[in-house]
């Protein structure tokens, strides 16, 4: 998993916060960018971290 994220995010010029949504088998079913910050920081409220998971029902999410 780390290799996937390093390849995707290492060349970014700004801080980004991503959330990985998992199914009940701990398989990533979706990756969501939650916030794009400035050059040195990404400030985000804790509630924003869970919004996408609740919206997509991460534990019950299936890819068809």
Residue 59 has pLDDT above 80, yes or no: no
Q: What is the C-alpha to C-alpha distance for residues 16 and 8, in angstroms, rounded to an integer? A: 11
Type and span of the H or E element at 5: helix 2-9
Q: What is the C-alpha to C-alpha distance for residues 24 and 64, in angstroms, rounded to an integer? A: 15
Q: Model pTM?
A: 0.66
CB neighbourhood size of 9 (10 A):
12
Q: Tell me, what's the pLDDT at 2?
A: 81
pLDDT tens sequence across 6-50: 888 888 888 888 888 887 888 888 888 888 887 676 677 888 778
CB neighbourhood size of 15 (10 A):
15
Residue 5 has pLDDT above 60, yes or no: yes
């Amino acid at each position: 998993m780390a290799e996937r994220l390093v390849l995707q995010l290492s060349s970014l010029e700004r801080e980004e916060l991503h959330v990985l949504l998992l199914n009940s088998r701990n398989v990533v079913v979706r990756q969501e960018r939650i916030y794009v910050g400035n050059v040195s920081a990404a400030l985000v409220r804790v509630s924003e971290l869970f919004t996408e998971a609740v919206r997509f029902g991460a534990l019950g999410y299936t890819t068809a």
